[in-house]
Amino acid sequence: MTTATKYDRRIYAIMNDRAAAPMYATATRRRAVIGAHLLLTVAGFTAWATTIFSDARWPLFAMLAVLPLWTVATGVINGATRGLLELRTRMLDERQLAERDRVHAGAHRITGALLLLGAVGVGAAGWFGDVRVEGLAAPVLFAALTVHLLMPLWVAGLRIQDDPAED
């Protein structure tokens, strides 16, 4: 059995710090944070795509404005899940490992369905819309990668149960 490193203990302490617990204490608050995280992700992605595929530079500043808010929302979700996806395997118990497996499986199913919809959408745009799909490849692939990386975080945040009421 591997022992916890100093890094493991530090990340565990950060992920289990209850100082921000009021931000994610209820399911409604967690859903609001996840919704805000989703919207901030879309805003950042849109700003990035606009910067890459046009000559405009203002979206770069919009992306830089969104990044700190997105980072805080990510931290709140990680705190709500107590680091379920961030902690190394050796720092999780059997129940947490099983929950992480369920989260990854659910996220995989959702991401697979979204990839199918994206492929059908790009194909339909090329077939029926007379659109050059080569121009859609980069943003669609980047969006798919973004969703693939963030979906487990969103699913984990939605699956977390409220803490039991104190007696």
One pLDDT digit (tens) per residue for the chain, 167 residues:
568 899 999 999 988 888 888 889 899 999 999 999 999 999 999 998 888 888 888 999 999 999 999 999 999 999 999 999 999 999 999 999 999 999 999 999 999 999 999 889 888 888 888 888 887 778 888 889 999 999 999 999 999 987 776 65
Return the pLDDT at 25. Answer: 87
Closest CA to 111 of 56, 151, 141: 151
d(CA 142, CA 150): 12
d(CA 130, CA 59): 28
Return the pLDDT at 16. Answer: 87
* DSSP per-residue letters across 123-143: HHHHHTS---THHHHHHHHHH
| Model pLDDT for residues 28-46, shown as the tens digit of each residue | 999 999 999 999 999 999 9
Return the pLDDT at 165. Answer: 67
Inter-residue contact 47 to 60 (CB < 8 Å): yes
Task: Report the first-to-last Cα separation within the chain, whole angstroms.
Answer: 37
| Residue that the structure tokens 């118990």 belong to | 93
d(CA 65, CA 53): 20
Q: Residue 96: exposed, middle, or buried by beta-carbon count in 10 A (0-12, 13-18, 19+)?
A: middle
Return the pLDDT at 65. Answer: 95
d(CA 41, CA 25): 23
